[in-house]
Chain A
Amino acid sequence: MIVDAHAHSGDFLGRDWNARKLVAIMDRYGIDRACISSESALINGDEDGNRKVYREFVVPYPTRFTGMCVAIPRRSALDEVKRCADWGFRGIKLHPWLHQCPVDSSYYHPVLQWANRQHRAVLVHTGGTLSVPDLRFAPLAMLGHVAETYPDLWLVVGHMGLDRWEEAPERLAKYPNVILDLTMSMPHPGRISRALDYVGSERIVFGTDMPLLDPAVGLGLIRASAVAQEGKRKILGENIMRLTRDTEASNRE
């Protein structure tokens, strides 16, 4: 089973990706399920984006999409996260760079506190973008501090630290609740082995960033990797499923 831990809904570069088109791409690459967050909530700060993900992706395709709630750093963020949890969203997505708010800011604090109590997976974008490197909002030291402060949430480090991907595994290995997300547009061959050396296959997840990036980037990296079959299974899907099952259990409490 292949589960994409890092995907989006919405319109990228003027190309509107609806659920049907995204499912077609997933089918072409053999991706069974995708954890999806709203592009409009990320880029435009539009909370209605979460509702759209629920209505247009999660409800019509419950076996293909797992909702990830975009928490926009406002005083109302926790209410939105709880609303999404009621809809069955299994994780939270933070984008400190797009929202220009450090991940340890007080705006995120109630959300992280809640995620900690609920053992949620929190996927955090790291760095800026490809063309604008920017480490102000989620540097590795700050991520380590968040992982330490909230030891019962799963801190999924998006893009494995982006342009700090070589340092991230070593610097973050000591926090057992840190998970490294392989998603990136540059398929460096050393990426997986670097992560394996420090955190092992249990703490690495595969992601695509579709429909911005082509799934071939990440899948090719795994295809080429020397990691054993059991490790590949974990990275390709078992790990992110385990994290979302944890939150499924907590929903029932």
Chain B
Amino acid sequence: MDDAHAYYGAWPHTAEALISHEQFAHLHELGIDKVCLCSTKALFVNSRAGNEELLRFTHRHQRLLPVLVLPHGLEDKGNLTEYLERNVRLFRAAEDWSSAMDTRLRPWFERLSEHQCTVYITYRDEIRTAILALAKQYPNLKILLIGVNYPQLVGAMNVLEKADNTFLELSTFQLCDGIRFLCDHLGPRRLVFGTNAPLYTPESAILKLEKALIDESSRRLIAQENLRGLLEADNDR
């Protein structure tokens, strides 16, 4: 299986930081092949510095894939062309992306859409309409919703049902028998496995998928094939 959602760096809480290849070996021991990593420094402190640090780290290990954070501030132009040339396909919107949508981020989303890249967005009910608008405006952009648990289920389902280019990452979705519920209502092709490590223990996410009452082809799609699809859609360009 592949992990679509893990972090490089320290969290301010008790979770141990993931910063070395040895620490990622534990995820591989659990049966996880590729791990998609977002830098906590890029997310919380400085997007450009954190992204660069992450790129240097993942460059040395083919099983680790970078998820780069879109710029926080107007003065930060980022380096999208270089990122795309380096074959980065996964990006993450900062928490305030929706308020900046009409100004600094529009050129980014246009480029990301041209390249059929995937953008991770933390779902909140307050930005449901903004996510839908983004999905409609850029139909080639793929949007991976993260941070969805049972309180957000109704709103997130509304987005997923209305926009085919939206997907759901499962590490925070803890509803009992929830994976089967989502497969029944959305189909398995829109669901992506993730761990949220090191903030969450990966064993919980693995067990949740192992025990889900779904057929094996659906389990394979969720565990790996859907993420590979998000990564490889741009190969023909």
Interface residues of A, Cβ cutoff 8 Å to B: 12-13, 15, 17, 25, 28-29, 129-131, 166, 185-190, 194, 208, 210-221, 223-224
Which of A211, A223, A224 is the most central at the interface, judged by chain B CB atoms within 10 Å of its CB?
A224
Interface string of B143-160 (1 = CB under 8 A from A): 000000111110000000
Q: Given the complex of chains A and B, what is the CA–CA distance between A223 and B204 in angstroms?
A: 8
Tell me the bound Cα distance from A28 to B177 in angstroms: 11
18 A-B pairs within 8 Å (CB atoms) are namely A12-B150, A15-B181, A130-B151, A131-B151, A185-B174, A187-B203, A188-B199, A213-B174, A214-B174, A214-B177, A215-B176, A215-B211, A216-B205, A216-B207, A219-B207, A220-B203, A220-B207, A221-B203
A216–B204 touching, CB < 8 Å: yes
Interface residues in B169-183 by Cβ distance below 8 A to A read: 172, 174-178, 181
Task: State whether the Cβ of B198 lies closer than 8 Å to any Cβ in chain A.
Answer: yes
CB distance from B55 to the nearest CB of A (A): 27
Q: Is B175 touching A188 in the complex (CB atoms < 8 A)?
A: no
Q: Check if A13 sits within 8 Å of B208, measured CB to CB.
A: no
CB closest chain-B residue, reference A223: B203
Interface string of B11-27 (1 = CB under 8 A from A): 00111100000000000
Q: Which residue of B has the minimal Cβ distance to A21?
A: B177
Cα distance, A210 to B115, chains bound together (Å):
42
Decide yes or no: A224 and B202 within 8 Å by CB, A189-B15, A212-B175, A214-B174 being known contacts: yes
Which residues in A have their C-beta under 8 angstroms from that of B150? 12-13, 130, 185, 212-213
Given contacts A129-B151, A130-B151, A214-B177, 5 further A-B contacts (CB under 8 A): A12-B176, A13-B175, A185-B150, A194-B14, A211-B177
Which residues of B in the span 92-112 have a Cβ within 8 Å of any Cβ on A?
Answer: none
* B203 with A210: CB separation less than 8 A: no
| Distance A61 CA – B151 CA, assembled complex (angstroms) | 31
B200 within 8 Å of A (CB atoms): yes
A15's closest neighbor in chain B, by CB?
Answer: B181
Within 8 Å of chain A (Cβ to Cβ): is B206?
yes
Residue B81 is within 8 A (CB to CB) of chain A in the complex: no
**Partner of A188 from B13, B206, B213 at Cβ < 8 Å:** B13
Among residues of A, the one whose C-beta sits closest to the C-beta of B206 is: A220
List residues of chain B with CB within 8 A of the CB of A166: 13-14
- Chain A hits for B149, CB < 8 A: 130, 185
Say whether B177 contacts A217, CB under 8 Å: no
Q: Decide if A221 touches B176 in the complex (CB within 8 Å).
A: no
The CA of A13 and the CA of B175, in the complex, are separated in Å by 10
**Does B87 interact with chain A (Cβ within 8 Å)?**
no
Kindly report which residue of chain B lies nearest to residue A212, judged by CB atoms.
Answer: B176
Does B175 lie within 8 Å of A216, measured CB to CB? Answer: no
Contacting pair B213 A217 (CB below 8 A): no
Contact of A214 among B15, B16, B153, B208 (CB under 8 A): B208
- Complex Cα–Cα for A133 and B174 (A): 18
Minimum distance in angstroms from B147 CB to a CB of chain A: 11
Residues of A near B181 (CB, < 8 A) are 15
A220–B177 CA distance with the chains assembled, in angstroms: 15
Cβ-based interface call for B201 (8 A)? yes
Determine which of A131, A190, A220 lies in contact with B14 in the assembled complex, contact meaning CB atoms within 8 Å. A190
- Cα A166 to Cα B175 with chains together (Å): 24
Instruction: Provide the residues of chain B in CB contact with A220, threshold 8 Å.
Output: 201-208
How far apart are the CA atoms of A185 and B204 in the complex, in Å?
A: 10
A166 to B13, CA, bound (A): 9
CB-based contact B13/A187 at 8 Å? no
Residue of B nearest to A219 (CB): B207
Least CB distance from A69 to B in Å reads: 23
Choose among B15, B151, B202, B204 the residue with the greatest number of A CB atoms under 10 Å from its CB. Answer: B204
Contact B200 A189, beta carbon cutoff 8 Å: yes
Q: How far is the CA of A184 from the CA of B172 in the complex (A)?
A: 12
Cβ-defined partner of B211 (8 Å) among A15, A29, A130, A190: A29
Query: Which residue from chain A places its CB closest to the CB of B174 in the assembled complex?
Result: A185
